[in-house]
Amino acid sequence: MEKLYKFLKYTFIILWTVFIVAPFLWAISTSFKDFQSVNSKVTYIPWLDFEPTLEGWRVLVKSPARGGVDIVEPYFNSLFVTCTASLISIVLGTLAAYALSRFTFKAGFVRNNDITFFFISQRIMPPIVLSIPFFIFLSTIGLLDSLIGLVVVYIVLLMPIAVWIMVDFFNRVPKELDETALIDGCNPYQAFYKVVLPNSIPGLIVAGMFCIIFGWIDFFFAFILTFTEVQLLPVKVVALNSSITPWWSLSASALISVAPLIIVAFVVERYLSKGNLSGALK
Amino acid sequence: MNLIGENITYKPDDQFHLNDVSFNFKKGNLYTILGRTLSGKTTFLKTIAGLLNPDSGNLSFEDNDFIKIPVWERNVAMVYQQFINYPHLNVYENIIFPLKQRKTSEDQIKKDVEEALKTVGLVGFENRKIQELSGGQQQRVALARSLAKKAKILLLDEPLVNLDYKLREQLREEFKRIFTQGLSEDTILIYSTTDPQEVMELNGEVIVLDEGKVLQKGPAKEIFENPRNLKVAEISNDPPMNILKGTKSSEKLNFENILIKSPSHFKNLSDQSYNFGIRASEIKLDSQGEEFEIELAEISGSETLLHLKKGESKVIALIEEVMNFKIHEKVKIKFNENKLYAFDQNEKLVSSPYGVSHG
C-alpha cells in the first residue's frame, strides 16, 4: 500500500513536471532555430537535429531600422511600471488595510466592511468596463500614452489586491499585539512600523507577489492606453507576430518575459520553505 | 500619590462594561480583580492602561489626570491572558523592547534584563525565538518584559488562564514569590482572575466585579468569610457556594423538606424565609445524613465533586478523596450547619459563620 502510494505520487509528480517543463524546453529550443529548422521536419536537439542560431535573440535587441524589433525599451518600461505601481499599491494598500482592520469608520451608512468592499469591487467588473473611463480620464489629464499614466492606472488595478490581502492578514494579527506595543511606549505610528509591520512580512510578500504578477502580465490596458510613445512588453511581444510567424523570436521574447516572474517565484519559494510564512503569529 | 478612580463608567454599546467603578489603589500593594468572564475585568485593566477611555468618571495617578495621558506615556505594564510577545524578536529583544523605547542606558538595560530573566527563571533562553517556547515560557517572557520595565503600575489580566493545570499551579506559586519579593514599594500591582483560589493565595485586596459593577471590596479573607451577597458568594467560591431556599423556625432550619438544627450563629435571625448558603467542602458523606441522588460525579486531582439532587434541591459536594460513584446512586450527606450562611430575600448577607455581618 505504502509502495503503491509512493509510486503513484512520484508518477504524478513526474508527469506534472513534464507538463510544466515541456513548453519551456520547446520554447528554449525553438528560440535557437531559424526559418529553415522551424519549417522543415520536427526537431528538438541542437547541433544533431538542427544548426542553432542566435538570430531569434538578436532580433529582439536590434533597432527596427536595422530589421529588428527592439524589445529592450518596452521591457524596461514594463519593469518600471510594474515595480512602481506595485510598490505604491503595497504601501498605500497596507496603510489602508491597517486602518480598516484596526479603526472604526462611520460615514452615513458606510462602515469598514463597505469601504473594504469598495476596494475589492474595483476588481469585480470585467476590465473592459473600465477601459473607456480610464481612456477618457487619462486623455483629460494628458497622461495618455505615458509611463506615469500607466502607473496611475495600474495602481487602481493593483491596490485592491493589496488591500484585500492585507486586511485579511491584519485581521488575523491579534489586536493585543498593537496594544502591547502601545503599553510598551510606542505611539501608534511606532506600534505600526516597529511591531505590526515586521510581523506582517509574509502578508506583504504574498501581496507583493500578486501585484507584480498582475501588473506584469497585463496586456489589455497596456494595449488600450498606449500608442507610439510608450510601449509595454506584452503589447510588443504580441506585435511581433506577422504574416509569417517568427517562432524563434517569439520564443525568445516569451522566455525573457517570464524570467522576472520565475525569479519572483524562486524568491518566494525560498521564503516559503524556510517556514517563515506561517506560525509567526497565532 | 495613589491611583484613584472615581465613578468610572464605560458603556460602548447597550451593555455596561464598567458601571460606576471607584477605587483607591496604594503603592506597594497587590490588588486582585475577581469576576467571571465578561464581568469587565479586562475593560477595567485596559482603562487603567489607557487603551480605553471611559465615557465618564475620573482617573488620576500621582495627582495627574491620567485620562489625558496617552497609553505610551503612562508607564504601565500589562500581561495578557493570551501570551502576547513580539514574534519577530527573540526573548532578549522582547524584554529590552520597552526599555529601548524609553531610551534607557545600555548598562541599565543589561542589568534590568538579567534581573528580570532571573526572576522568571528564563536565564539561558535569551536567544530563543518566541515560537520555540512553550505557553508557560512565553508567559514568563511577557512577565519578564513587564518586570524589567519597572512600571509603576503592573497589570496582569488572567495571566494563568490559558495554561494547563500543572503549569498554572507552578506559576501561581512563583507569581506569589515574585510579587512578595521582586516588586518595589513603588509599584501598584493589579491582577485579574476568575479563579477564587488564586485570589485567596495571592492574598491581596480584592475587588469583586460583576457586569461592570463593584460588588464588594476588601481583603481576600474578608471576601471569603463574609461575601456581601449571593452573587459574591457565588463568584468567590469554586465550585460556587450552594444556595438552598429555606425557612428558619425557632431552632430548626427547613430547606425544602430537609430539616437541620439551627446553628448558634443564627440565633439572632428572625423566623422567616432565607437563602441559605453552604460551601461544597462543608458537605460531608455521613451515614446519619440525608439521602441524595448522584447526578454527576467528577474526579479532579485528589478530590471528587458530587452533583447531588433531592427533589428540587440540588447541591454540589466536594469530597476530599478520590471515590468512585455510579450515576443515580444514592448517598447520604450531612451539612456542616456551623458553616451555614444566611442571605435575606434581597440576597444580602445577614449572618455568617465568621460573625461579622453586613446589616
CATH number of B318's domain: 2.40.50.140
B350's torsion region: left (phi>0), alpha (psi -120 to 50) or beta? alpha
Q: Domain total for chain B?
A: 2
Do A57 and A88 have their domain in common? Answer: no
Do A115 and A225 have their domain in common? Answer: yes
**Residue B19 parent element (H or E):** strand B18-25
Do A57 and A116 have their domain in common? Answer: no
In terms of residue numbers, what domain contains A14?
A: 2-66
pLDDT of residue B120: 85
How remote is the C-alpha of B73 from its chain's centroid?
Answer: 29
ipTM of the complex: 0.85
Asked, for residue B162, whether it belongs to a domain, the answer is yes
pLDDT of residue A274: 56
Do B295 and B255 have their domain in common? Answer: yes
- Domain boundary residue, one of B197, B229, B261: B229
Task: Residue A62: name the closest of A249, A251, A226, A255 by CA.
Answer: A249
Do A23 and A46 have their domain in common? Answer: yes
Give the pLDDT band (50/70/90) at residue A282: very low
Give yes or no for residue A280 having a pLDDT over 70.
no
Does the CB of B325 have a partner CB in chain A at under 8 Å?
Answer: no
Are the beta carbons of A260 and A83 closer than 8 angstroms?
no
pLDDT in tens, A166-219: 999 999 888 999 999 999 999 999 999 999 999 888 889 889 999 999 999 999
DSSP class of residue B131? G
pLDDT of residue B263: 87
Do A169 and A47 have their domain in common? Answer: no
Asked, for residue B357, whether it belongs to a domain, the answer is no
The set of residues, in sequence order, having a beta carbon less than 8 Å from that of B92 and lying 6+ positions away, is B113, B126, B127
Give yes or no for residue B358 having a pLDDT over 50.
no
Do B164 and B190 have their domain in common? Answer: yes
Choose, out of A179, A184, A187, the residue to mutate when testing the contact with B (most B CBs < 10 Å). A184
Do A150 and A222 have their domain in common? Answer: yes
Residues of B in contact with A199 (CB under 8 A): 86-88
How remote is the C-alpha of B173 from its chain's centroid?
Answer: 15
CATH code of the domain covering residue B141: 3.40.50.300
Do B174 and B301 have their domain in common? Answer: no
Does the CB of A73 have a partner CB in chain B at under 8 Å?
Answer: no
Give CA separation, B303 vs B170, B298, B316, in Å: 19, 8, 13
Check B51 against A183: CB less than 8 A apart.
yes
Does the CB of B239 have a partner CB in chain A at under 8 Å?
Answer: no
Do A9 and A76 have their domain in common? Answer: no
B79/B139 Cα distance (integer angstroms): 8
Give the pLDDT band (50/70/90) at residue B15: confident
What is the rounded (10 degree) CA torsion for A152, A157, A159, A162?
-150
Do A125 and A13 have their domain in common? Answer: no
The alpha carbon dihedral of A153, A154, A159, A164 has a sign of positive
- Domain boundary residue, one of B207, B229, B251: B229
pLDDT in tens, A209-262: 999 999 999 999 999 999 888 889 888 888 887 767 788 888 999 999 999 999
How would you classify the pairing of strands B273-278 and B341-343? antiparallel
In terms of residue numbers, what domain contains B326?
A: 242-351
Q: Which three cell numbers stand for residue B126?
A: 535569551
Give yes or no for residue B73 having a pLDDT over 60.
yes
- Domain boundary residue, one of B208, B229, B250: B229
Are the beta carbons of A229 and A68 closer than 8 angstroms?
no
Do B126 and B196 have their domain in common? Answer: yes
Give the pLDDT band (50/70/90) at residue A65: confident
Do B324 and B198 have their domain in common? Answer: no
The set of residues, in sequence order, having a beta carbon less than 8 Å from that of A110 and lying 6+ positions away, is none
pLDDT of residue A62: 83
Do B11 and B124 have their domain in common? Answer: yes
Asked, for residue A279, whether it belongs to a domain, the answer is no
Does the CB of A275 have a partner CB in chain B at under 8 Å?
Answer: no
Q: Which three cell numbers stand for residue A151?
A: 502607473
Which residues make beta-bridge pairs with B207?
B33, B217
Measure the N-to-C terminal CA separation of chain B; round to a whole number of Å.
33
Asked, for residue A163, whether it belongs to a domain, the answer is yes
| Helix A147-172 / helix A72-102 crossing angle, nearest 10 deg | 40
The alpha carbon dihedral of B52, B53, B55, B61 has a sign of positive
Give the pLDDT band (50/70/90) at residue A272: low
pLDDT of residue A157: 92
Q: Which three cell numbers stand for residue B183?
A: 516588586
Do B260 and B199 have their domain in common? Answer: no
- Cα distance from A102 to chain B (closest Cα, Å)? 13
Residues 179-208 of A with CB under 8 A from B: 179-187, 190, 195, 198-199
Q: For the residues B64-72, what does the mean pLDDT come to?
A: 92
**Count of pairs with CB atoms under 8 A, one residue in A, one in B:** 61
pLDDT in tens, B123-174: 899 999 998 898 889 999 998 999 888 889 999 999 988 888 878 888 888 8
Does the CB of B328 have a partner CB in chain A at under 8 Å?
Answer: no
| Helix A72-102 / helix A112-121 crossing angle, nearest 10 deg | 160
pLDDT in tens, B220-234: 999 999 999 999 999
Q: For the residues A107-118, what does the mean pLDDT come to?
A: 91
Do A226 and A152 have their domain in common? Answer: yes
Q: Which three cell numbers stand for residue A58?
A: 538578436
Are the beta carbons of B306 and B297 closer than 8 angstroms?
yes
pLDDT in tens, B236-248: 998 889 988 888 8
Asked, for residue A268, whether it belongs to a domain, the answer is no
Q: Domain total for chain A?
A: 2
Single-letter amino acid code for the residue at A188? P
pLDDT in tens, B39-57: 999 999 999 999 999 999 9
- Range from A74-83, B123-132, B308-317 that averages highest in pLDDT: A74-83
Do A6 and A77 have their domain in common? Answer: no
Asked, for residue A138, whether it belongs to a domain, the answer is yes
Q: Which residue in the block uniquely carries the three cell numbers 491584519?
A: A170
